[in-house]
Amino acid sequence: MREIIFDTETTGFDPQTGDRMVEIGCIEMFGRVMTGETYHAYFNPQRAMPPAAEQVHGLSDRFLSDKPLFAQKAGELIAFLGDSPLVAHNASFDFGFLNKELELCGRPPVAMDRMIDTVALAKVKHPGAKLSLDALCTRYGIDRSHRVKHGALLDAELLAQLYIELTGGRQIGLGLADDRAPGGSMGAAFVTNSEIKRIFREPRQHSASEMELARHAEFIAKIKDALWLEPGSAL
């Protein structure tokens, strides 16, 4: 199944009071395996960046001044998201900003039933534990040493690793393929950039050849006092 892991950076906490999305980063996964396909964009929020928000993600008014408006990038973002489930950490926050931006440019919202919240998953698995992305990365040994400030694509990459751990760990990709080729042989599955391909191989010959049977009989004949030749042997 295709899923999109995503994260946003914003000017604040509440899109209903004028805060805007300034960055989005998306990671494509198939069968809980990252394919290498991503979507990343910065947006001009058409408002000043509060100093407190800039301290978190480092995105200044000057940096964002020449970036496109969300409305200019909405079509390609929607195309990348498709109809896949969307995974985010504290997902109601990111969904709130994404849907507000879609509303502002006259597009329909993303259905909330597509939302998968990794905070909710972690709360069930680790009740009472700290549930921040940093704390959960530490719990699962996910390297975040290169994360100096928040960044949507970087945080989405960390979240993708966390999501794998929360939903079964790295053994998830060890399942056998259950599809069959027309000839009846089993296929081995592997993930490429944006799709899962299957390589089908014909079954190997497992029965012994006439030469192998003759050599085996010759070998058996050389064995002295074989147990299976004793009277009453069940072998």
Residues labelled as active-site residues: 150
Closest Cα partner for 173 from 190, 185, 156, 194? 190
Cβ-proximal residues to 169 (8 Å cutoff; 6+ apart), any chain = none
What number of residues does the chain have? 235
Residue in 169, 143, 141, 171 with CA at minimum distance from that of residue 157: 143
Query: Two tokens at 38?
Result: 């991503």
Strand stretches in the chain, DSSP E: 2-10, 21-30, 33-42, 86-88, 115-117, 187-191, 196-200
Beta strands in 31-179 (DSSP E): 33-42, 86-88, 115-117
